[in-house]
Amino acid sequence: MFHVGGARSALQNWIYAKQQGGVFVLRIEDTDAARNKPEWTEGILSALDWIGISRGSYEGPYFQSANAGEHRAAAARLYESGRAYYCDCTREDVQARTGSQYQGYDGYHRDRGLGPGPGHALRFRTPDEGATVVVDLIRGEPTFENKLIEDFVIARGDGSPVFLLANVVDDMTMGITHVIRAEEHLPNTPKQQLLWEALGVKPPIWAHVPVVVNEKRQKLSKRRDKVALEAYRDEGYLAGAMRNYLMLLGWAPSGDREIVPWSVIEDEFRLDEVNLSSAFFDEKKLRAFNGEYIRALPVAEFIDACQPWLTGTGTIAPPPWQPEEFDADAFAAVAELAQTRIAVLSEIVPNVDFLFLASPLIDEAAWTKTMKDGSAELLDDAVAAFEALESWDAESLKSTLEAVGAERGLKLGKTQAPVRVAVTGRTVGLPLFESLEVLGRERTLTRIRAARLRLV
């Protein structure tokens, strides 16, 4: 699944490339077979499509595995030039010599002349002196003392290059000029920069954006938090709202505003304005954003956007009605009312399900709370009054039920509660009288009578 933090980084790279007249490159780093499946790649492509980075508008996807020959050739060049050496130490060997599992490799094989062979890993010879300065568009020039960087592995005992080297070689091969990624990758950057320099190529310009955290200020984790972009898509978040919100994680447009057109974000985003502090992914705020975006849709677009949940296509769970029970005209009649009441598109189902079911899904807690002493008689009176109506419209229904309540000394809110539960199954939802108008006289009366029988 595509992590929301990765989606933010993708958007930032996408915008920056467009601003600079450059090219956004998508590379699938697939050399770890256990973590690579074709359907997972398709998931990334689909998530990018949804968020607005559509196929055909970028280079790729390229696959790291296709460049394996270049990776091995680079490892060989580093060895032949003396910038790397072979080592057969196990983790246990290093721990035994240093006396600690927390200390890094001690350079034991640096000058022992061990050649290539089974189980011999290739290590980069880190300079003993000086420092590696990383030019970062967000963080300035972080500096790392070389003596604190261990001689790190660049190829495994079976000869396969590790990610650090493969990543550098791929960037070189593809002419990557800028790398925008999360700050968690910053500790690896001096190692990568040393590899660039050892291979005789100028390193790219880096930009490490703040890590995304949850409400406890912990890094968002797929084991603990809802982080998959697809999960938000399938719940009914709009791509525009998600795009807008993700770009606010560590950055803000000019003025006292947050919900802005995408064209404004594309024009105003600047990497050097990104905040260094961790970015809080506030799901409640995202939900509010999404509600604003939903309410801003033209009604026809809102109706179209709701279709997957109404017709049971491409959703997490099918609706409680059968496809043939769905009435598009009935939904269109209440769509504008529903549009103002939901924050995510999946909420459309519990708001309108009563229109498409033979009988409503009763919320038992709502029933218990609402159906008090006197409710049976009130429902009897409501049926009698509704039966006598000449015009079945929202205004007539409201004034009629208002009169029923007045005879009992009840305000409209108390009067309509039992009727709402009898007809819709819930205490909250769309405006009652507009709902009854769409539901129709026969179905409305049938449901009120059924509720009355249950109270016997």
Domain boundaries, the chain: 1-53+210-296, 58-204, 297-348, 364-454
pTM of the full structure: 0.90
Task: Provide the mean pLDDT of the chain.
Answer: 94
Q: Is 355 buried (19+), middle (13-18) or exposed (0-12) by CB count in 10 A?
A: buried
Torsion of CA 417, 420, 423, 428, to 10 degrees: -130
How confident is residue 299, by pLDDT bands cut at 50, 70 and 90? very high
Give every CB contact of residue 130 below 8 A, 6+ residues apart in sequence. Answer: 146
For the chain, the farthest-separated pair of C-alpha atoms sits apart, in whole angstroms, at 102
What per-residue confidence (pLDDT) applies to 354?
A: 97
Higher pLDDT, 199 or 315: 199
What per-residue confidence (pLDDT) applies to 102?
A: 62
Q: What phi and psi, each to the nearest 5 degrees, are found at residue 410?
A: -110, 145
> How is residue 63 written in tokens?
């696959």
Cβ neighbours, 10 Å, residue 93: 14
d(CA 376, CA 333): 30
Q: What average pLDDT score do residues 409-422 get?
A: 96
pLDDT digits (tens, 9 = 90+) for 184-237: 999 999 999 999 999 999 999 999 999 999 998 988 888 888 999 999 999 999
Whether pLDDT at 70 is above 70: yes
What per-residue confidence (pLDDT) applies to 37?
A: 78
> How is residue 92 written in tokens?
């246990």
Pick the CATH number of 364-454 from 1.10.10.350, 3.10.400.10, 1.10.1200.10, 2.60.40.1840: 1.10.10.350
Residue found by looking up tokens 């249950």 in the block: 454
Least confident of 19-33, 363-377, 422-436: 19-33
Q: Specify the CATH number of the domain 58-204.
A: 3.40.50.620
What per-residue confidence (pLDDT) applies to 38?
A: 79
What per-residue confidence (pLDDT) applies to 101?
A: 66
What per-residue confidence (pLDDT) applies to 278?
A: 93
d(CA 448, CA 402): 16
Strand pairing of 59-63 and 25-28?
A: parallel
For 144, the 3-state DSSP assignment is strand
What per-residue confidence (pLDDT) applies to 33?
A: 67
DSSP state, residue 129: S
Question: Which of the residues are catalytic?
Answer: 222
What per-residue confidence (pLDDT) applies to 315?
A: 76
Contact 59, 23 (CB under 8 A): yes
> How is residue 279 written in tokens?
């970015």
156, 161, 154: which is closest to 70 by C-alpha?
Answer: 161
Helix-helix angle 163-174:189-198, to 10 degrees = 60
What per-residue confidence (pLDDT) applies to 407?
A: 94
The domain 1-53+210-296 having CATH identifier 3.90.850.10: the answer here is no
Least confident of 98-107, 264-273, 300-309: 98-107
| Opening angle at CA 274, ends 217 and 2, nearest 5 | 60
What per-residue confidence (pLDDT) applies to 344?
A: 97
Least confident of 26-35, 103-112, 145-154, 157-166: 26-35
Whether pLDDT at 35 is above 80: no
Beta-ladder partners of 179: 206
The verdict on whether omega for the bond into residue 118 sits within 30 degrees of 0, i.e. cis, is: no
Q: Is there a common fold for 58-204 and 364-454? A: no
What per-residue confidence (pLDDT) applies to 23?
A: 95
Q: What is the DSSP string of 55-91?
A: TTSSEEEEEGGGGHHHHHHHHHHHHHTTSEEEE---H
Whether pLDDT at 338 is above 70: yes
